Structures are given as C-alpha cells and as structure tokens.
Amino acid sequence: MPQPILTHSYYSDFYAAKGYDFLKQISQCYNTPQNLIIFSVMHCYEGSLPYINVLAELAHQLIFIPKGATANGNSEIKATIEKLPSCTIANNDITKEHLRDPLAAESFIRQYVKADSKFLLLDHGGYFSHAIEHLGKVFKEQLVGITELTANGLYKYLNRNLNHPLVTVSHLSIKAPADYEASECIVHYSDQILREEFGLKLNNDGFLKVGVIGAGNLGCGVIQYLKGKAIGNILVADIDPRRLTQFPRNGVQVSSIERLVHECNLIYCCTGNGAIPEHLLDTINDNSFIATVTSADDELNLPSLIANGALIEVGGNKLIREYQTRQGHRLYLLAGGESANTPFKTGMGDPTLYLFEAAHMLAGLQLLCQPDDFKPGIQPLNETDETAIAEHWLRHFYNYQ
C-alpha cells in the first residue's frame, strides 16, 4: 500500500502521523465491501489529510466534497488530496446550493455509483438534507445511511421523511473539546481581523460593546475566551432561558436578542441557524461587526436577507464583507461571512479534531457493518461507542492507563 500523504506545507508530520494511526486503529475493527463508495463533505484543511487518507483506504472510491468556506483559495491542498489513491475531489460546481436540487444530487451520485455499489453519505452541514428523501427512494438498496457531524446540519434533516438511518454525532460530549478549540480560534482571529482591517482591539470598551447570541458549547467557549482577553461587559442571549441561568453568577449580563442587537456593535452569532431575525437588522447600530461560528448562509440566512433587501452587499475582501441595511447602516461580516477561524490554517498539534472525526467515521462503519443496530430516521451514536473512542484517544495521545 502506498504511504499516506499526511502533510502539505508545514511541519507537523509527527502529529499528523499520530492522528492517522489513531483513526486507522478505529477503522481496522471493520471490514468494508470491495465496491463501497463514500461521499464525504468536509473542510479543505491540511488538518483533514489524515482523516481523508483513512477514508480513502476504507472505500473503493472516496468522493471528497470540500465545504465552500475552505475550498476557495486552497487549490494547492486540493491538488495534494487528488494524489491520494482512490480519492476524487468533486467539481467546483458541486456546492451546498447545487445539491439542494434533488435531481442534481442524484445526477452527481450516479457519476460514481454503479448498480452493484453500496454508498455512505458522511455529511457535514446538511449538504444532502434537501435531496435526501429523493435519494432514499432512487437509491433505496444502495444507500447504506447518512452520518451528520454538526448541529446546524442535523437541524436541516429534521422533519424529513427518512427511509434510511441517519446517525448524528453533533451532540456527543467528546465533540465539546473541539467546539471549545473552535471558540478560541474564532475569538483569536476575529481580534486579528479587527486589528488588521480597522485598527481595533477586542477589549477596547470605548469602541466595542460585545454580545454573544447562543449559549451552547460554542457560545460558552466564545464567552470564556472573550473574558480571557479582559472583556468584562458581555451580553449573552439565547432562545432557551435555561441556558442563560449559568451566566449571572459569572459576571455576564443576560439579555433578550432584541436588546443585544440594539446595544452591541460586535456580535458573535453562535446558534448555527438564524441567530438574528430579519426585522432586528433594522435596529442594528451603524458600523456593527458580526462574527459567525458557521457560515453566514446558515447563521444569518444571508441569501434570504439579500433577496429581501434587508442587506445590500457593498464590498469587501477575504477578511471582511461589507453590507448596508435598509437604514443605510454599515454592517461588516468578519472572515468574509464564514466562521472566523476558516480563513486560516488549522493545525494537527491539538488532537481534539480526531475525536469527532473518529465518531463520524465509526458511525458510518457501523451503518455499513452492523445494519441491524439501526432503524430508519435520526439517532445518535451509541454512548458505549462514544466512551470507547474517548478511552482509545486518551491512551493513544496521552498515555491514559
């Protein structure tokens, strides 16, 4: 077997090899059929290379669908990925928007799936959610099942009539460390973007009033790292009052979304789905900044806001997209409207990403090799399997006994 290509442009070979070995050990408990096709949606990061290698070794063919936030501008990494045996990168026109059309999604899959092939959909962000009912019918015997990595992706599959199993790993406790790592990156890089583009610092109370919408893992992580930068006057809002009860004792002000949007001019949107209702954009301050933990398409329903005239794009660059509201107020989306850590390299020295990759992969392998354990519809990965992944990860990376 050819040696895996684990790094591309910087020196993290040791960490990449450790991650590859960890994922490989998880996968070796399962025997996959010769004709297996895996469709995998994931970020086009260098840190994804160990995972992509293992998936390509499991499948007769791996179809890698890069997420839009990191696909653009990463042509060199894509060229590296294409060198992997059994791995094909989907064409640039295979986007989240393209796959919303059930017939387009069917046509895309038929390029690779033959009559005797079985295939898995390893989804990340609900790319196949709009077409899944159609795909479940036309590929009834060939589609093994779906796995979904994220909470906002899972939300898109809710209320779909699924005749195949969908295993979600979005709410596993072992995903929390990676969520907090993402929160740290988002705060760090939003600070960097504000400094680079506007000469502003996050902790300059005279210019910035900070609010966080969403109090899940990512929102709590963002608040934690904001406080670490000596930002004390933070507002937090969530549609679920239960999530807000933890904050008053920790010196964070709880707020309605309406008040937060009215008072804050730097807003972190951490819900994954429609953090700021359209009518509230009419009350937003001039020269406001928004950072999102996923794409603005999901977090703000950006295409609808533009179509309805609530926002008009004015200009921008890779780090900033500038819009104007109906009131003529200027609004800036940090990181070009993507999660504020996506324009930057993600490293392999923090192995938390291998936890959720292992869970995502394991869910797919179990769908394939233990089909009787699953039923049509949405279900989480088994708690016993989650515990086993955690134990194996602790032993592999931290000599846990």
Three-state DSSP class for residue 219: helix
Helical axes 352-369 vs 383-398, angle rounded to 10°: 140
**Phi, psi at residue 166, to the nearest 5°?**
-125, 120
The pLDDT assigned to 378 comes to: 98
- Residue 221: which CATH number? 3.40.50.720
Which CATH number goes with the domain that contains 71?
3.40.50.1480
- Which domain, by its residues, includes 71? 13-171+347-398
Sheet holding 61-66, edge to edge: 87-89, 61-66, 36-42, 118-123, 143-148, 165-168, 377-380
pLDDT computed for residue 343 by the predictor = 62
Does 25 share its domain with 149?
yes
pLDDT digits (tens, 9 = 90+) for 45-74: 777 889 999 999 999 999 999 987 676 667
Residues 290, 353 within the same domain: no
* Residue 164 and residue 245 share a domain: no
CA–CA distance, 136 with 257 (Å, rounded to integer) = 38
The answer to whether residue 166 sits within a structural domain is yes
287 in a structural domain: yes
pLDDT for 356-392, tens place per residue?
999 999 999 999 999 999 999 999 999 999 999 999 9
Last residue of a domain, one of 296, 319, 337: 337
| List of the chain residues with pLDDT < 50 | none
Angstrom distance (rounded) from CA 370 to CA 68: 33
**3-class secondary-structure state, position 103:** helix
What is the domain count for the chain?
2
Within this chain, do residues 26 and 49 fall inside the same structural domain, yes or no?
Answer: yes
What pLDDT sits at residue 69? 67
- From CA 392, how far away is CA 401, in angstroms rounded? 10
Domain shared by 166 and 241, yes or no? no
**Residue 141 belongs to a domain:** yes
What pLDDT sits at residue 2? 63
C-alpha dist (Å) from residue 312 to 147, 222, 304, 316: 36, 28, 11, 12
Q: How distant, in Å, are the alpha carbons of 30, 36, 125, 165, 283 from that of 43?
A: 25, 22, 11, 24, 34
> Which two tokens mark 209?
């009033």
Specify whether 190 is located in the same domain as 274: yes
User: 87 forms bridges with which residues in the sheet?
Assistant: 62
pLDDT in the model for residue 173: 94
